[in-house]
A and B are shown apart, each in its own frame.
Chain A
Amino acid sequence: MDMDMDELELLEANYQLHEDCTELEPPEPYPEEEDQHPTGSKSPPSTDHQQSTETQINGHKRLRPEDETAEAPGPSDEKRSRIEDEDWLRYSPPHQSDPVVEETSADLVEEKIVSRYASEIDGDFIPVTAPGLGDRVYAKISRVEMEERPQRLHGTGQSQSGGLISEPIDVLLQRLEQEAFTRALQASSRGQSDVILPETPVVHERLWVDKYAPNSFTELLSDEQTNREVLLWLKQWDSCVFGSEIRSTSDEVLSALKRHSSITQHQKLSESKFPRSNRGSRWNNEKIKHFNGMNHENTNSKSVQELSNNSRSTGPPEQKILLLCGPPGLGKTTLAHVAAKHCGYRVVEVNASDDRSSSTIGAKILDVVQMNSVSADSRPKCLVIDEIDGALGDGKGAVEVILKMVSADKKSDMEKENVNKEQTSGKASSKKGRKSASLLRPIICICNDLYAPSLRPLRQIAKVHVFVQPTVNRVVSRLKYICNKEGMKTSSIALTVLAEHTECDIRSCLNTLQFLNKKKEALNAWDIGSQVVGRKDMSRGVFDVWKEIFQKRKPKRQQRTNNSCGIISSEFDSLHSLISHRGDYDLIVDGLHENVLHLPYHDPVMQKTVKCLNSLGVSDLMNKYIMRTQHMSLYAYQPVIAIIVHRLVAQVQRPNIEWPKSYYRYRTMLMEKVDSLKSWYNTIPPSISRHFSIKSFVEDSISLLLHILSPPTLRLASLHLLSEKEKNDLAQLVSTMVSYSITHRRIKADPVTGNLGHQAADVSELSFDPPINGFVNFQGYRSGHHVLASTMKQMLAHEVEKQRILQASIGRSAQLTDGYNKENHASLRLETRRLQSGRVDHLGASAVNNGKSESMSNPSSGVLPNLGTGNTPVSTKLNSSGCMRKPSGGSSSFFDRFRKLGKGSQNTAEAVRKEATSERDSRPLVFKFNEGFTNAVKRPVRVREFLT
């Protein structure tokens, strides 16, 4: 009995081992599976049954596959059958026949290797998680040569007693019961996954789709390569998720793949034992075909993996999100679930039926990626976000949350690196506090349309896998197997037609078959179209639509209908349905417009082109009419236009299709330009800007304005060398620029301005501030505009700035008086005007250095006394009223005094300097008066005093 106990414990250990490597009983039940065991997971009584089978196992033997036929498939049976591909199972027969040997071998293993790290084991190994503590160890798989026993494997937990498991069996059994109970509770109460618990006890009633959904990795019908890459990606998380085995990933993946592929060699064996695998033989053919390729792949992936392992010993893969996309019914969701389970994750699914606003999804993701559940099942969770493209508004929320987490993650990675560096340098900083959520668990997103606008950001950061249709053969063989199982009579021809008709959508095929089976009808190959299955109402990607329009189908299948009329009409029908299913005519037409001219159609006198463009024009007219009158029913005529284009230009060659960017680019750029013009108008005094309109400006004014603003007669010389006339011209130019609020400003040189003939070498160069020169800057066109030298521009900019300040202060004083004193108003205005003119002269005068100043100061000195008299009443009045604006009234005189005083002192200083820029610096101060600042002490000060 002692031995029996040992045996039993060994089996228990094996049982645990099952759980680890092949997802036996997910606590978050995978829909199909749960459906399959309604009794097993639903109510406590059923656990009795389960327990009995367990005890049966423990008592004398493992459940043999033959038993499956005898009794309703219990969970353990299901496990067995699912892991048929794992080779460890192959040693199960000897178990009952030869327990003693098993025992000895168990000892053998014990003395051999159980290691924390897979890398320390050479040869095959298998991961084992101890039931209690969740520790994960690796057990070597030892091969003992025996007849009918190719392999044997033993896993040990942390054996403390003589047995292989730490706890006695009755405790385990109790726990098992407990687990089943909680699971049932969970399933019934929470219903996290979108499973509808079957009400009917009859298994037969279930959807075939669910019933025959693949449960293990090898059963997947989808493309091998995709499957593998998904699995590989998931495995890359191991080091991050499971922590301890850092280097295990590649090896583990390899071993998984090896196990996976090695099934082919042992196929016969398992075939004889498992009724399910009669389908497997058919698969085998393909697998063998794949096999060589797979090996290559493995080595490749191994090297890649090793590389990445070397570079970055720990952490999740580069791309933390996996995005699976493909048309519906190919098994994306199934793959995600199966792969996640295969790698030891608990799948948490969020799909379109759940609330997907960003807050809830954020909480959910946090829950998944950062928490470890304390409930019965402690496996890490893997989030599967299904139909992420489905709900636009809410789905976006999900995408945003994910993006945020990924970017936060990257940041924290960087930080960590920094921290590491700091630590190495000796500064141990403790600011490692993780504020932002980071991704610690894999997230798999599933979508149908990869190019959905909401997915655009996600596409860039995620690892994208596009599902391709499985071959018809695979689908048909699977369908046939299912039909056989269900006892439905079909022919492979009919199934082939069905598969082609649904474009290899397995789900649709199965549903159809089940429906037919219910009706007791046979599948008829010839009228599948008219039979139950409607053509799949599927919208294809817009690129596909364009391709269909531009590419002539090779007349392959149409041979049956010999008359060309039939071909045309069928082509018409298919295109029509394709386009109308897609909708979005505007985009389609834009795409046609963008690409039609690139097609290599033969068109000697452009007639086809004209017709094409005419029909595009018609579609545009129609579109506008529909929008205006809201006669949406007229949209029905839009597809016809595309078909016209198809008839005209379609070629057999594969077209090179581009996304219609130019129209949208045009739209956005136009908006930009209009906005810039408008904001410019807003800065021009209304008395001028009211005469502007965008149209007239662009049509009539811009070129000439540019000419005026950069006159070729303006010599590049220091100001004092200019003649009187030139100075006047300059002053005129500056004042024009001021009143039209144009200036030169430093901007970063971009290719657009470089086009105009500016020196593109300059990193920053002066350009018009409202970028009005951009309006004549056509692509591939060289305008004959004279471009000022940059020093000239600099000078102009400075003058403009100065003039503006001057004007502002004058304007303020004028405005001030305006409100208060009508009588004063006129006179003061006159004053300020004269003052102004004096100042303009000053501008010229300051440019000239000496000699002139006497003559120049005359008018201004003439102004000054006048100003004083004119101003005093105002300022006194202001003083008495205690107004804040007091100084602004006096500011002009105050300022002017400075100005005048400065004149004399400059003579010596300015004689030295020649350069325009340096001269600018030495010119009398530009005085910016801050209104409301009143505690200035007024006393005469000489500029000389400032300069020393």
Chain B
Amino acid sequence: MKAEGRIRIEKGKAAGRGRERVHDFPPLLPSEESKMLWVDKYRPKTLDQAMVHQDTAQNLKKLVAEQDCPHLLFYGPSGSGKKTLIIALIRQIFGPSADKVKVENRTWKVDAGSRTIDIELTTLSSTNHIELNPSDAGFQDRYIVQEIIKEMAKNRPIDTKGKKGYKILVLNEVDKLSREAQHSLRRTMEKYSAYCRLILCCNSSSKVTEAIRSRCLNVRINAPTDEQIVKALEFIGKKEGLQLPSGFAAHIAEKSNRSLRRAILSLETCHVQQYPFTSNQIIPSMDWEEYVSEIVSDIMKEQSPKRLYLVRQKLYELLVNCIPPEIILKRLLYELLKKLDAELKHEVCHWAAYYEHRMRLGQKAIFHLEAFVAKFMSIYKAFLIAAFG
């Protein structure tokens, strides 16, 4: 066991200098639920309560009931309910003890060849499961997988009272893991499968290697349809004792971009802003989307290197505020298409795909975003010249 000697976990208090922060939160009292946002308040706690993916939830429940839980890979767009399902599943397996979680911020020391690397990692754990986000470590994620996850997976659960003889490791954002990290993950998955199950969660399964996908039961979580969203909103409205005018929920669902999270937040926002709802009430939009549409109108107004420079500044603004470049590009395309003639749409879409692909291959997203804008400007200007001389 090579890993045994190599990993040293620094226990904060014992070593005196290690940084270990355990946040002790009081267990959430039932009454406190009233203090949460509706998104969190009406999150289904058990698989039975699931509002949107009932069939998936039932399947999962059966899976657990048969005492056989394979590795799972949940994938689907954000806001579709992957995380909710996972938590409900864990609760289904381990019972209410899974709700008692604590956050731990710990520095791991990992021997990487000649040097030692300090990796800070935040984990969220209960007695039977650990949740972590290995891609936080950036390009050092390999060490997290190779050393830390392996270490976690190796340890048998101490709690013998638990009926289940295994523990669960939840890895978020697996698609952001580097290829190397994913490769090192697959051996871990096989080797320790006797007493450790992995639940992987990601947005796009295409970025998870074939090897990992084949070792997991893939669960696709679709974005909820508008009807499902409407149903959920109406359920909440009933619970809160609100009166939803007809079409209002549909209106929100339409604006929500098929994200349940956004839909519920929008509902609450509307409620806060103006309670007796009117069906044509303004549903507040996301600021960054507004900003993107501002950028688009900038682009449409003028096509020149100067204008491109201005657009660059604005793109930087978005990027600085943690908005992922892929989403920016997508939104940009969406807004552009709204304003384009039909004959250009195809070409623009093509180039958007082209540059998104390059963006994923490269590092500096701004280069590719900007290149797309430039390309669009070029196409559009040529089109204008051709059309109007």
Q: Which residues of A contact B (CB under 8 A)?
A: 593, 596-599, 601, 603-607, 609-610, 613-614, 616-617, 620-621, 623-625, 627, 662-663, 665-666, 669-670, 673-674, 677-678, 682-683, 685-691, 693-696, 698-705, 707-708, 711-713, 729, 732, 735-736, 738-740, 774-781, 783-785, 807-808, 810-812, 814-815, 818, 829, 832-833, 836-837
Contacts and interface: CB of A to CB of B under 8 A. Distances in A.
A736 B319 CA distance: 29
B306 A693 contact: no
A707 B284 contact: yes
A695 B328 CA distance: 12
Contacts of A696: 78-79, 261
Contact of A784 (B25, B84, B284, B370): B284
A815 B361 CA distance: 50
Nearest to A613: B371
A620 B78 contact: no
A807 to B, nearest CB: 7
Contacts of B368: 617, 620
Contacts of A688: 36, 40
Contacts of A836: 29, 31
Contacts of A736: 35-37
B305 A606 contact: yes
Contact of A606 (B23, B319, B366, B381): B381
Given A691-B40, A703-B285, A666 B105 contact: no
B342 interface: no
B261 A663 contact: no
Grouping DSSP codes into helix (H, G, I), strand (E, B) and loop, the A interface class, with mixed when no group exceeds half, is helix
Contact of A708 (B261, B269, B312): B269
A178 B30 CA distance: 97
18 contacts: A603-B305, A609-B374, A666-B316, A666-B320, A670-B322, A682-B21, A686-B102, A693-B173, A701-B265, A711-B272, A778-B291, A779-B313, A781-B290, A783-B287, A808-B26, A810-B29, A811-B27, A815-B26
Nearest to A812: B26
A829 B29 contact: yes
B314 interface: yes
A695 B83 CA distance: 14
Grouping DSSP codes into helix (H, G, I), strand (E, B) and loop, the B interface class, with mixed when no group exceeds half, is helix
Given A610-B375, A739-B32, A815-B27, 12 more contacts: A613-B367, A621-B361, A627-B363, A670-B322, A682-B103, A683-B23, A686-B124, A703-B286, A711-B272, A779-B313, A779-B314, A811-B26
Given A685-B28, A687-B99, A736-B35, A700 B84 contact: no
B323 A833 contact: no
B340 interface: no
Contact of B30 (A670, A735, A833): A833
Given A605-B382, A610-B375, A598 B324 contact: no
A776 B103 CA distance: 28
Interface string B115-148: 0000000101000000100000000000000000
B319 A708 contact: no
A686 B23 contact: yes
Across the A-B interface, the 6 shortest Cβ-Cβ residue pairs: A811-B26, A735-B35, A776-B287, A613-B371, A606-B378, A704-B265
Given A623-B363, A688-B36, A691-B40, A609 B321 contact: no
Contacts of B274: 713
Interface string B343-367: 0000000000001001001111011
Contact of A617 (B26, B29, B34, B367): B367
A705 B40 contact: no
B253 to A, nearest CB: 14
B26 A598 contact: no
Contacts, number: 247
B37 A705 contact: yes
Contacts of A607: 378
Contacts of A712: 273
A686 B101 contact: yes
A719 B182 CA distance: 57
A708 B39 CA distance: 12
A604 B37 CA distance: 52
Contacts of A666: 316, 319-320, 366
Contact of A781 (B287, B303, B358): B287
B19 interface: no
A30 B344 CA distance: 75
Contacts of B317: 778-779, 781
Contacts of A687: 25, 28, 99, 101
B128 to A, nearest CB: 15
A677 B322 contact: yes
Nearest to B35: A735
Given A623-B363, A690-B124, A674 B265 contact: no
B37 A740 contact: yes
A724 B377 CA distance: 56
A674 B103 contact: no
A606 B273 contact: no
B361 to A, nearest CB: 5
Nearest to B263: A700
A670 B36 CA distance: 28
B275 interface: yes
A584 to B, nearest CB: 15
A678 B173 CA distance: 16
Contact of B25 (A596, A674, A685, A774): A685
Nearest to A627: B363
Question: Which of B26, B272, B362 has the most C-beta atoms of chain A within 10 angstroms of its own C-beta?
Answer: B272
B84 to A, nearest CB: 7
A596 B99 CA distance: 55
Contacts of A685: 25-26, 28
A936 to B, nearest CB: 23
B44 to A, nearest CB: 12
Nearest to A598: B309
A701 B261 contact: yes
B301 to A, nearest CB: 14
Contacts of B377: 606, 609
Given A778-B288, A833-B30, A699 B265 contact: no
Contacts of A683: 23
Contact of B378 (A596, A609, A620, A776): A609
A703 to B, nearest CB: 5
A755 B388 CA distance: 40
B107 interface: no
B31 A686 contact: no
B43 A691 contact: yes
A614 B359 CA distance: 11
B362 A624 contact: yes
B87 A617 contact: no
B15 interface: no
A732 B374 CA distance: 48
A775 B322 contact: yes
Nearest to B303: A606
Given A700-B286, A713-B274, A781-B290, A693 B172 contact: yes
B385 interface: yes
Interface in B39-84: 39-40, 43, 78-79, 83-84
Given A616-B371, A693-B173, A784-B284, A704 B35 contact: no
Contact of B385 (A605, A690, A815): A605
Contacts of B370: 613
A749 to B, nearest CB: 20
B190 interface: no
Interface in B252-286: 259, 261-262, 265-266, 268-269, 272-275, 284-286
A699 B327 contact: yes
B159 interface: no
Contacts of B363: 620, 623-624, 627
B171 interface: no
A776 B272 CA distance: 19
A606 B374 contact: yes
Contacts of B272: 707-708, 711, 713, 729
B217 interface: no
